[in-house]
Amino acid sequence: MSGGLNRDRQSTDVLVRNNVRVLGPDGAPVMLMVHGFGCDQSMFHRLVPYLHDTFRIVLFDHVGSGGSDIDAYDPAEYDTLDRYVVDLIEVCEALSLRDVTVVAHSIGAMMAIDAAVRRPDLFAQMVLLAPSPSYLDDAASGYVGGMSRRDVDELLSSLDDNHLAWASAMAPVVMGGENPAELAGEMEDTFCRVDPRVMRTFARVTFLSDVRDLLPSVTVPSLVVQCSRDALAPLTVGSYLHAHLARSELVVLEATGHVPQASAPDETARAILSYVAV
């Protein structure tokens, strides 16, 4: 049937476009990892070993990051969250994923929230790592996102200077010596590749998106995982999400920083496992 072939073809295109990788036992519950700004799927590198015996782990790169197809990156199309959300849903569909536990970091969490509103049928639950529904302070509603109007202006002007692009336009970093042997074959030896051209638009998407309006529409249960000292997401952000997401739980890690899956993988994994085991 031509329809079937066509669909296979499209699925393959999606898998290549987003550099999708699947680890772990066939038939196990599915865990989809959604990375955030500044890196690629390798930001889950330290977390995966805690999970890949129990879960079917699906990793992918946003278009413009990691091993994704850079030709698919159109700055006009990827200038809002929308296209990233569509890609996320397409990855699920290409692999016919159902009952997905989505583990999403930072801006990835916004994408997951949006996707869960559009397609609640796809997701069983969400684990939101260092999430924020909006990074900007909103004086009108009293919301504290962490970035003041002045910060935003400064950020926008540095985006215009392309500062981010050239600050990150450096050689890919080589993984440190403590590389877990069992993953050596799965991971490439370079990681956190981000195309400098993409940084500027992606930063705009990340720090100017606001999904607070979507929160009341979320029906998929979620775990909000916050770090105790995160320069990008003050503690109030976590409690805000917990208060506005129905069926959510909140856990504040002892870990500091914005990337607990790298800085405190064991604590992060414990939080995830005890949540999904319930």
- When asked if residue 174 is in the footprint of other proteins (CB under 8 A), the reply is yes
Q: Which of the stretches 95-103, 186-194, 216-224, 242-250 binds other proteins when contact is defined by CB under 8 A?
A: 186-194
What minimum distance in Å lies between the beta carbon of 113 and other proteins?
Answer: 16
- When asked if residue 37 is in the footprint of other proteins (CB under 8 A), the reply is yes
- When asked if residue 163 is in the footprint of other proteins (CB under 8 A), the reply is yes
Q: Is 167 exposed, middle or buried (0-12, 13-18, 19+ CB in 10 A)?
A: exposed
Question: Any catalytic annotation for residue 244?
Answer: no
Question: Any catalytic annotation for residue 106?
Answer: yes
Q: What are 71's two structure tokens?
A: 């030709």
What minimum distance in Å lies between the beta carbon of 227 and other proteins?
Answer: 10
- Helix/strand/coil for 156: helix
Q: Which is nearer to other proteins, 7 or 247 (CB)?
A: 7
Q: What are 73's two structure tokens?
A: 């990156």
- Which residue of 33, 122, 136, 194 would you call a contact of other proteins, by CB under 8 A? 194
The site map against other proteins for 245-264 (x = CB under 8 A) is -----------xxxx--xx-
- When asked if residue 1 is in the footprint of other proteins (CB under 8 A), the reply is no
Distance CA 233, CA 134 (A): 9
Pairing label, strands 173-174, 190-191: antiparallel
- When asked if residue 197 is in the footprint of other proteins (CB under 8 A), the reply is yes
Sequence-separated contacts (24+) of 75-80 with Cβ below 8 Å: 75/197, 75/201, 78/198, 78/201, 78/202, 78/205, 79/201, 79/204, 79/205, 80/205, 80/209
Q: Cα(first)–Cα(last) distance of the chain, in Å?
A: 43
- Helix/strand/coil for 107: helix
Question: Any catalytic annotation for residue 71?
Answer: no
- When asked if residue 46 is in the footprint of other proteins (CB under 8 A), the reply is yes
Phi and psi at 124, nearest 5°, equal: -85, -40
What minimum distance in Å lies between the beta carbon of 176 and other proteins?
Answer: 4
Q: What are 211's two structure tokens?
A: 């999904």
Instruction: Looking at the chain, list the stretches that DSSP marks H as alpha helix, in order from N- to C-terminal side.
Output: 2-17, 48-51, 81-94, 107-118, 149-160, 163-168, 196-208, 235-244, 260-263, 265-277
Q: Which of the stretches 20-28, 31-39, 95-103, 215-223 binds other proteins when contact is defined by CB under 8 A?
A: 31-39
- Which residue of 158, 204, 210, 212 would you call a contact of other proteins, by CB under 8 A? 158
Which is the catalytic residue, given 106, 132, 209, 248?
A: 106
Distance CA 14, CA 8 (A): 10
Q: Which is nearer to other proteins, 28 or 152 (CB)?
A: 152
Which residues sit at the interface with other proteins, rule CB under 8 A? 36-39, 42-43, 45-46, 74-76, 106, 118, 147, 151-152, 154-155, 158-159, 162-168, 170, 173-177, 191-192, 194, 196-197, 200-201, 203, 207, 229-232, 256-259, 262-263
The catalytic residue positions are: 106, 230, 258
